[in-house]
Amino acid sequence: MNAPGSFDLVLDRMLIDGAWVTAGSGAVIEVIDPATEAVIGSVPSAGPEDLDLALHASERAWESWRRVDPWSRTVILRQIAGSVRDRADDLGRVISAETGKPLAEARAESLATADQFDWYADEARRVYGRTIESRDPDVRMFVKHEPVGPVAVFTAWNFPALLPARKIAPALAAGCPVIAKPAEESPRTLVALASVCMHAGLPDVVLNVVTGDPAATSARLISSPTIRKVSLPGSVPVGRAVMRQAAERILPVSMELGGHAPVVVFADADLDQAVEVCLRAKFRNCGQVCISPTRFFVHERVAGEFAAKFTAGARRLTVGDPADMTTEVGPLANARRIGEVERLVADAVDHGGVTLVGGRRCDPLGSGKGFFYEPTVIGGANDSMAVMREEPFGPLAPIAEFGELDEVIERANSTPFGLAGYVFTRDLRTAYEASERLEVGMVGVNNLVIATAEAPFGGVKQSGFGREGGSEGVTAYTATKYVNMRLT
């Protein structure tokens, strides 16, 4: 094995059956740098034969990996975590180049990815069962959790290392082999992550990575009897499509879908702290974060002050080259996101909103290229605006006023989404009541940095079901078996 950090990261191949391969057809998908719109590389576009090879490899891996004892799986996952940390800068550069994420944020994603493998290295040994006391003295009853089988993992483009790690690490910890498919916008990161896993000692065929057309790939993998579970983050329409396919085979599915996180700022909140925390969270990854704060409800007594401070902070943010360590906001991921943000801003203005800052495309590199959009704050937001009903997934912050707790809770819960919600208050009763009444899977009180490997991550309503992170994350990749044994 090479010394830590001394190996070359693979970027332009698929990992199938322990080998780095091109597509059998030779077809490729080009990868675009969203800051320059230049082609920065390509990955293979897998065909049916390529996918079948990955499925056969995963079937074989299922017979061997499930029998590897948890202590040995712990050692391998810990080695992967260390190797990811060793290569955090290199992985960060790959992430930044294909997503437009500022380099500092991209490196932080690499380290958070390592945390996933580190956490599940321990959880591999803590998949506990239980005994049940029988009413019959000659009967013993117990429950155990067994690996569910080969897993198909589909991931989104906005966190191309962290999102797959949230699924791959617990699946491997539970004893399940994985076939992973990255988003076509940012596929090279997952390929690079897989090369780190292989270098760290993950056995051949336990992890396969395929790249290519998402619809064709998901249909082929999900229809295969090899696959025993499906896991994905994505939009609600994508989630529905995958669920329909999984329903044909009665496959268990874990889904983290869209969000539209309300932020409720009460009159007694520390406004300076609330503004600073909200500002950084809102414009992180150019607003392309599933738990990004997207609807700001501020009490009418402090709404003007909050809006003024928030707007001043947004105006000071540095938009620019993601590879520059001083850049705070990079480009959106693709041209589609630009169009969506422009539509939402125009609609907000048509419905009485005021653009306090931003509201336009920009060209910080002076090249006339790149999917850059100014950090934008909309004052006077109201519930008739599309941005208050639809997840913006961009650098757009609408600020609305409220008067009473009951009113704001009703408005915050008015969308079909329920991933995350946030509350700012100094009053303990208000903090408890608001966090209990928000219809979301996760609540941050005076804090928006809530995603961490050791805590469950997931939503309710149309934001999906199942949890990643924490002890809940590994049991999602197990099947419960009950044994009733009569002694003879």
Residues taking part in catalysis: 256, 290
Residues 77 and 201: beta-carbon distance below 8 Å: no
238 to 243, 369, 387, 441: CA distances (angstroms): 9, 29, 20, 20
Q: Which two tokens stand for residue 249?
A: 């085979």
Residues 6+ apart with CB under 8 A from 480: 143, 144, 145
Residues 191 and 133: beta-carbon distance below 8 Å: no
**Euclidean distance between CA atoms 335 and 325, whole angstroms:** 24
141 to 89, 479, 488: CA distances (angstroms): 51, 17, 15
Name the nearest CA neighbour of 158 among 230, 216, 44, 235.
Answer: 235
User: What is the separation of C-alpha 262 from the centre of its chain, rounded to a whole number of angstroms?
Assistant: 18
CA dihedral 5, 6, 7, 9 (to 10 degrees): 50
Helix ranges, 296-449 (H):
303-316, 335-350, 405-412, 428-437
Cα angle value 322/87/279 (rounded, 5°): 35
Q: Side chain identity at 167, as an amino acid letter? A: K
**Euclidean distance between CA atoms 281 and 29, whole angstroms:** 32
User: What is the separation of C-alpha 299 from the centre of its chain, rounded to a whole number of angstroms?
Assistant: 31
Structure-token match 């932080």, residue found: 108
DSSP assignment letter at 176: -
157 to 37, 185, 387: CA distances (angstroms): 16, 6, 22
**Euclidean distance between CA atoms 420 and 75, whole angstroms:** 34
DSSP assignment letter at 9: P
Residues 109 and 288: beta-carbon distance below 8 Å: no
Helix (H, G, I), strand (E, B) or coil at 140: strand
**Euclidean distance between CA atoms 398 and 100, whole angstroms:** 23
Residues 6+ apart with CB under 8 A from 371: 34, 35, 37, 100, 331, 332, 333, 334, 335, 337, 338
Taking the alpha carbons of 472, 463, 442, 452 in that order, is the dihedral positive or negative?
A: positive
Residues 179 and 55: beta-carbon distance below 8 Å: yes
Query: Cβ of 306: how many Cβ atoms within 10 Å?
Result: 22
